[in-house]
Chain A
């Protein structure tokens, strides 16, 4: 209770472990916000006894003991196959694969796309912070044109290194009926929560693959203050990464695709 400087304990999801909070992400990091929304959804769906949480290597590795959930930290890019392996062996478990944009869209892209194509009944959540954060801020497939990173010190030149990968659209393109695919943002947590909830409900209903890309923040490597961080995630990133749902199973409740 004497941890930190806050005299009152903030309200945390029940599915969070309280003994190791405050968490280890940098201040202002988007990972914590994604995991907060995810924790709330796990609570609301009452899934604490069913979920197995897998995290990648990247800053997401810090989440291995984040929840009061059975969990495994895998290798960089390999969380999708590990969770696929668990699900194929024990279909009654709700398997969540949590990864970064480097893990999901670069080194592990074949796993993500293949799992989507096979309609694996798992939920993959990818935090897109436009670079490799854990290794010190190198260019990722998602780095914006002109964005400075440690390996594009003069800004990403699309002529040399291509344009930001439309990962969510790529996943969506190989998905079939039964899949749920959306892109949310830590800048709109209400919407993000609704996407995460549907992504888990879709697995519960055993319809098919569920995927949510989340536009996330990394003030440490972006070298941004609070206002600049928020501007980047809220204004800049959606110029390349369109928010909304691109796939929703026919029998999912509600009308049309929510492109909030």
Chain B
């Protein structure tokens, strides 16, 4: 296929799920595997409408274990493969993701967070942060981008495929039900026309030539019989992960230099945080914001700096401290007073953040 999917940059007014489907096409994804769950369903709905036009494939699997493991298979075969899920589906997804961590398979997983625990709501939350960053029986060897707008859903879905295939760690785009279902304007573009190189996938198995004749067989395992063997592998992977971290970690920061209080939020909540900072500054209050874009790996040096230079930090999230826990670890040894505003499973407005800050700064 030489045909460009997006000929010219164009403004569009789409739902977030539609944006993800377009972004996967723009990133030259080959195949999606998926199982229905709200609020991600429309990613599959749009993909299945668009895919045949561009010679792309889709498989609806029997559950999310299968969606994840077929995605693993697609990547092993050397294809850009992805899946999307949410909530209890994300729980099941952790098993295939752990296999992807062990075999260094660049699967891409889009999460549209919904309420938890259990089936909870199909609407919205930020309660899948712990699971998405650190799920599975391992060390959290994955990259997690937390988006806050439709433009970012487009940009970071494209980026997720590149990060995954460049560093060979499973990569998540972490959205939520609001972003999934809302309509918002954005610019669709062809990444290569903007000078973004799309990393080409390579097969792990089914390589050219006859194994044992022209080449060694390409064989992968995830079990080890010796503790020392495993230690060596995990240490090597964590070293690779550590070297990757400063290159993929992203954040946004503003107005922190003279701030009495720095507000921290991620994903869609960051929009309320940013608006609150603007409004509070206009009222003469010295506040700033910090926003982690990657939740794993975190921009640790920058987080330490913020926590070292401000007296108070307020963490705002639609979960009961899942981001806060990650931040505490990153900020270990710093001195800022740690304040929190937890609203598990519900949206947060700028006004609510402002009211909280005014209470704190009196």
Interface residues of A (CB under 8 A from B): 14-15, 17, 48-49, 52, 57, 61, 64-65, 67-75, 78, 81-90, 93, 110-111, 114
Asked whether B41 is an interface residue with its Cβ less than 8 Å from the other chain, the reply is no
Query: What residues of chain A lie closer than 8 Å to B61, measured between beta carbons?
Result: 81, 114
Query: What residues of chain B lie closer than 8 Å to A71, measured between beta carbons?
Result: 205, 217-220
Q: With A81-B73, A85-B72, A86-B73 in contact, is A70–B222 under 8 Å at CB?
A: no
> Can you list 8 A-B contacts (CB < 8 A)?
A72-B219, A74-B222, A78-B95, A81-B70, A81-B73, A85-B70, A87-B73, A88-B70
**Top 8 A-B pairs, shortest CB-CB distance:** A85-B73, A68-B212, A85-B70, A114-B62, A81-B69, A70-B205, A49-B210, A89-B77
The answer to whether B99 and A68 touch across the interface, beta carbons within 8 angstroms, is no
The answer to whether B219 and A64 touch across the interface, beta carbons within 8 angstroms, is yes
Asked whether B78 is an interface residue with its Cβ less than 8 Å from the other chain, the reply is yes
Question: In the complex the two chains form, what is the Cα distance from A48 to B218 in whole Å?
Answer: 12
Interface of A is mostly: mixed
The answer to whether B211 and A74 touch across the interface, beta carbons within 8 angstroms, is no
Question: In the complex the two chains form, what is the Cα distance from A105 to B70 in whole Å?
Answer: 19
Query: What residues of chain A lie closer than 8 Å to B50, measured between beta carbons?
Result: none
Question: In the complex the two chains form, what is the Cα distance from A111 to B64 in whole Å?
Answer: 11
Query: Can you name the residue of chain B whose Cβ is closest to the Cβ of A117?
Result: B62
With A74-B99, A88-B59 known, 6 other A-B pairs at CB within 8 A are A14-B212, A70-B211, A70-B217, A78-B96, A81-B65, A87-B73
Q: How many A-B contacts are there with CB distance less than 8 Å?
A: 138
The answer to whether A72 and B205 touch across the interface, beta carbons within 8 angstroms, is yes
Best-buried of B33, B66, B70 by chain A (most CB within 10 Å): B70
Q: With A68-B211, A78-B69 in contact, is A85–B81 under 8 Å at CB?
A: yes
Q: With A69-B211, A81-B65 in contact, is A88–B95 under 8 Å at CB?
A: no
Query: What residues of chain B lie closer than 8 Å to A111, measured between beta carbons?
Result: 62, 65-66, 69
Question: In the complex the two chains form, what is the Cα distance from A110 to B61 in whole Å?
Answer: 10
Query: What residues of chain A lie closer than 8 Å to B69, measured between beta carbons?
Result: 74-75, 78, 81-82, 85, 111
Q: With A17-B212, A64-B219 in contact, is A82–B205 under 8 Å at CB?
A: no
Interface string of B96-116 (1 = CB under 8 A from A): 100100010000000000000
Interface residues of B (CB under 8 A from A): 30-31, 33, 57, 59, 61-63, 65-66, 69-74, 76-79, 81, 95-96, 99, 103, 203-207, 209-213, 217-223
The answer to whether A75 and B99 touch across the interface, beta carbons within 8 angstroms, is yes
Question: In the complex the two chains form, what is the Cα distance from A65 to B211 in whole Å?
Answer: 12
The answer to whether B223 and A61 touch across the interface, beta carbons within 8 angstroms, is yes
The answer to whether A73 and B205 touch across the interface, beta carbons within 8 angstroms, is no
The answer to whether B206 and A70 touch across the interface, beta carbons within 8 angstroms, is yes
The answer to whether B76 and A110 touch across the interface, beta carbons within 8 angstroms, is no
Best-buried of A57, A61, A69, A88 by chain B (most CB within 10 Å): A88
The answer to whether B30 and A89 touch across the interface, beta carbons within 8 angstroms, is yes
Question: In the complex the two chains form, what is the Cα distance from A114 to B59 in whole Å?
Answer: 12
Q: With A17-B212, A86-B76, A89-B77 in contact, is A72–B220 under 8 Å at CB?
A: yes
The answer to whether B210 and A86 touch across the interface, beta carbons within 8 angstroms, is no
A123 to chain B, nearest CB (A): 14
Question: In the complex the two chains form, what is the Cα distance from A52 to B77 in whole Å?
Answer: 9
Query: What residues of chain B lie closer than 8 Å to A67, measured between beta carbons?
Result: 217
Best-buried of A74, A89, A110 by chain B (most CB within 10 Å): A89
B314 to chain A, nearest CB (A): 42
Question: In the complex the two chains form, what is the Cα distance from A17 to B30 in whole Å?
Answer: 33
The answer to whether B76 and A72 touch across the interface, beta carbons within 8 angstroms, is yes
The answer to whether B221 and A90 touch across the interface, beta carbons within 8 angstroms, is no
Question: In the complex the two chains form, what is the Cα distance from A74 to B222 in whole Å?
Answer: 7
The answer to whether B221 and A73 touch across the interface, beta carbons within 8 angstroms, is yes
Query: What residues of chain A lie closer than 8 Å to B222, measured between beta carbons?
Result: 73-75
Query: What residues of chain B lie closer than 8 Å to A69, measured between beta carbons?
Result: 211, 217
Query: What residues of chain B lie closer than 8 Å to A83, measured between beta carbons?
Result: 73
Q: With A48-B213, A52-B206, A114-B61 in contact, is A64–B220 under 8 Å at CB?
A: yes
Q: With A70-B217, A70-B218 in contact, is A82–B211 under 8 Å at CB?
A: no
A45 to chain B, nearest CB (A): 14
The answer to whether B73 and A68 touch across the interface, beta carbons within 8 angstroms, is no
Q: With A52-B205, A57-B223 in contact, is A89–B79 under 8 Å at CB?
A: yes
Question: In the complex the two chains form, what is the Cα distance from A15 to B217 in whole Å?
Answer: 11
Query: Can you name the residue of chain A whose Cβ is closest to the Cβ of B219?
Result: A71
Best-buried of A17, A65, A75, A93 by chain B (most CB within 10 Å): A75
The answer to whether B77 and A90 touch across the interface, beta carbons within 8 angstroms, is yes
Question: In the complex the two chains form, what is the Cα distance from A110 to B30 in whole Å?
Answer: 26
